[in-house]
Amino acid sequence: MPMSKASTARVARRIATAAAYGGGGIGLLGGATVGLLFAEVQLAKRKVGGSADQPPLADGLYGSAFARLYSGRPLRLALLGDSTAAGQGVHRPRQTPGALLASALAAVAERPVALRNVAVPGAQSDDLERQVTVLLSEGPAPDVCTVMIGANDVTHRMPPARSVRHLSDAVARLRTAGCEVVVCTCPDLGTIEPVGQPLRWVARRLSRQLAAAQTIAVVEEGGRTVSLSDLLGPEFTAHPREMFGPDNYHPSAEGYATAAMAVLPSLCAALGMWPTEDERPDTARREGILPVARAAAEAAAEGGTEVAAIRGPWALLKHRRRRRLPPAEEATPSERADADSLQGPHHT
């Protein structure tokens, strides 16, 4: 039986509280269920490929047309996280989420955008400390960071409180450095097509609980979240062959574009570049000011939902209108060099 949103909110608050106070993992499944889950994972692994290809390098300067007209420095955008943030599963830099978001952000801001991606395929939340250190050691802090993390935490059974604590610490460091932070929470792993029951139900439950707990922690550190939930709703459910790549696990180019369309409004809002009238909750669109845990549970159940801090225990729940993305650019080697000089030396 699916968990209610109220139950998801309670569990998420327990996880976030344990993370904040250094508690251990919260056992959400019994031993028999874990054994069954392990057996189902082995079956699913035979069907889900998992690409071993290295994601294409998309670091560079985007919005080159604006560079000739804009005399100030470029906006700095950074991506952190796992294979989804890195763009694994596609073969051209302009198909990656970083390039899509940098190109679109440049078009909205009418200003060049320097992209730096430190995400690593296979990363779990405990790698965020290293990624943040790399990013902040390279020079001026980014203006805005997008973090995509959580799926590997679920599949590798990292205790959820530990997972959330690592994410919370990373967001706190980035906010202290002056970065705006938009976290794309753990996707709903129950949407992966080859995964059968009962693993599909268990994967959905665990990933949504983690997503809701991530939201609570991120909002309380002054960031905002965008729910990836079932990888952004009916598009992936209706067209899994188009939205997932050849490995049946990572998004395709079309899937990444769909995800980027949902993230872009929150990215722009974090930078104060979204229409101010859109900041008011629209009850007709099921938006509102809610207790943080309740907003987190609502968002975990519906992809594309944003949660941002308001004051105290309250958060703003938004279903922002998506905009079609402009054609993504390819950063040329010379533009990459320009971005390198702006960002400082890269570290591996």
The residues annotated with a catalytic role in the active site are 83, 247, 250
Of how many residues is the chain composed? 348
Question: 198 preceded by cis ω (within 30°)?
Answer: yes
What 3-state class would DSSP assign to 179?
coil
**Which residue type does 308 have?**
A
**DSSP calls for 191-207:** G-TT--TTHHHHHHHHH
Bridge partners of residue 81, in order along the sequence: 148
277-296: burial string, b at 16+ Cβ within 10 Å, e else = eeeebeeeeebbebebbbbb
Find all residues with CB under 8 Å of 63, minimum gap 6, and list them.
Answer: 74, 102, 103, 105, 106, 107, 109, 110, 111, 112, 113, 329
Task: Give the list of residues 6+ apart from residue 317 with CB closer than 8 angstroms, or none.
Answer: 281, 286, 287, 288, 289, 290, 295, 298, 299, 305, 306, 307
Distance (Å, whole) CA 228 – CA 232:
5
